[in-house]
Structure 1
């Protein structure tokens, strides 16, 4: 008689599989478990199956998603995404900022009642010279007030390299990367 694979696992791996199973049974999704554990979704599924975790049906998953607390959080997230999108952020930029896929961003924007821009409208928005100048002026003002480039990038939905380019085009005197923002305290511990 051959041993099952779960019987040959180390104690640590068995504990991990049982922990994943407990979290799944308490409502965590496969994606959340993968993000928490650092494993792939397929590995999480395999670990759950090997400790005989009863899997939810699609109906049970929909009911779980209908939890009022989770629904309120999703509505708030969708409203936040809509605010950024209407301010000019693109779907890929929102996906990067909120740590999800572009498909999820589109779905959340739809749930918030947002009409998505066509690719032509997005290109026109990104090349609109007046809004570009306003963005450069706003970034320069916030940067000179002490904001870091990664913070500015997260705030406007652009990459850090794009923010650096916009600051340069705005004629901003950039700080050396090792120099802190004005007024920022430096840790001088030995």
Structure 2
């Protein structure tokens, strides 16, 4: 005769994967969740996995418990860098002294969402285009104030052709062309 499985305790029924995840993400360890819920270690792990919990290493738990406010500030800072400045996960990891996976975890803890590579490429291309428009408008204002194209090229460390291209992109009304070389002396 096979024995009946033990009846589940009332605390076991009340523990949902989401409640376990919330407790875990606020700093509880798996061992603490096992002790509090009365479930087995494997059951707690399975429920955390079912809830989509990103697991951390023991050293990450210790670090998190040492100064949780600092961790939240770091996570918020990384989210700002990621969303407003277009940084990549690798750049966030370097800034935080973490691995890419650790930086991703911090980003998610702060409520951020991870971009695809294509989204990052598009975001950076748009930022470069905005910078180029800003430079073109600045060059236009200086050109219209009397600066010459060779002078602008020298100051910006660009070629004369690049300066002309940027001025045309900005819709600059160009002055008549002059000979920008040294004055020639007429010989009799």
TM-score (norm 1): 0.36
Q: Radius of gyration: which is bigger?
A: 2
TM (normalized to structure 2)?
0.36
Q: Comparing both chains, which one has the higher relative contact order based on Cα–Cα distances under 8 Å and sequence gaps of 6 or more?
A: 1
